[in-house]
Amino acid sequence: MSTSPHGRYWIRPRPLTGASWAGRRIGILGGSFNPAHAGHRHVSQWMLRRLNLDQVWWLVSPQNPLKQARGMATLDARLDAARAAARDPRILVTDLETQLGTRYTVDTLEALRRRYPRTRFVWIMGADNLLQIPRWRGWTRILGRMPVAVFPRRPYSLKALVGKAARRYLRNRVPPRDAGGLPARSAPAWTFLDGPLHPASATEIRRKGWWAGR
């Protein structure tokens, strides 16, 4: 147990280890969640349906290596807000990168594979991150290790689909009609889903002063 910054007690989210996750289909949505919003829930629920997932784990990052620490609320405050925003029993809010001691996604995915060797994971991200992923450490190892599902996001989708990552892995793209089989595929394999856009953005929420997380 630990205390949240607001004084309430909560049990630290700790996905079970070992055999209980064998064969399960889990989507991983990594993010700063500064704060979590309805867009994260929308993306997760579409992925649950379209990829036939059992659960989506929100990986609340201690610190995105490409973002400034300034303006980032504490991990506890972001976890609390994410738990309030998830509102779906199939979405599990986690501090897995803290538990695993990783900061870079490539290291996180490798540690997850070791910890859950028989679980079928899919890395989930919005189109903005498909555009940006060539700047992540070891990005080709990420795409080479885990199937990836991308959700469209304005105004990034078209640019992302002609970007460096999409071009490099053009032959590994899976059409949305076959997305249900993505968790069972070996990497590299990725899909760009065709679900309805969601306008929510954490930048916009902070700009409007709606997030008081510290």
Ligand X SMILES: Nc1ncnc2c1ncn2[C@@H]1O[C@H](COP(=O)(O)OP(=O)(O)OP(=O)(O)O)[C@@H](O)[C@H]1O
Ligand Y SMILES: O=C(O)c1ccc[n+]([C@@H]2O[C@H](COP(=O)([O-])O)[C@@H](O)[C@H]2O)c1
Tell whether residue 105 is a contact of ligand Y (CB under 6 A). Answer: yes
Look at residues 102, 119, 118 and name the one whose alpha carbon lies nearest to residue 30.
102
Identify any residues that bridge with 125 across adjacent strands, giving them in sequence order: 150
Identify any residues that bridge with 40 across adjacent strands, giving them in sequence order: none
Under rule CB under 6 A, which residues in 40-69 are in contact with ligand Y?
59, 61, 64-67
Member of 137, 154, 177, 207 binding ligand Y (CB under 6 A): 137
- 137 touches, from ligand Y, ligand X, none (C-beta below 5 to 8 Å by class): ligand Y
- Inter-axis angle of helices 75-86 and 38-50, nearest 10: 60
Give the single-character DSSP code of 131.
Answer: H
Identify any residues that bridge with 92 across adjacent strands, giving them in sequence order: 57
Tell whether residue 31 is a contact of ligand Y (CB under 6 A). Answer: yes
Length of the chain: 214
Residues that bind ligand X (CB under 6 A): 29, 31-34, 39-40, 43, 125-126, 128-129, 151, 153, 198, 200-203
User: What span, in angstroms and rounded, lies between the C-alpha atoms of 4 and 84?
Assistant: 13
Least spacing, CB of residue 97 vs ligand Y, in Å: 7
Tell whether residue 191 is a contact of ligand Y (CB under 6 A). Answer: no
- Interacting residues toward ligand Y by CB under 6 A: 30-32, 59, 61, 64-67, 104-106, 129, 136-137
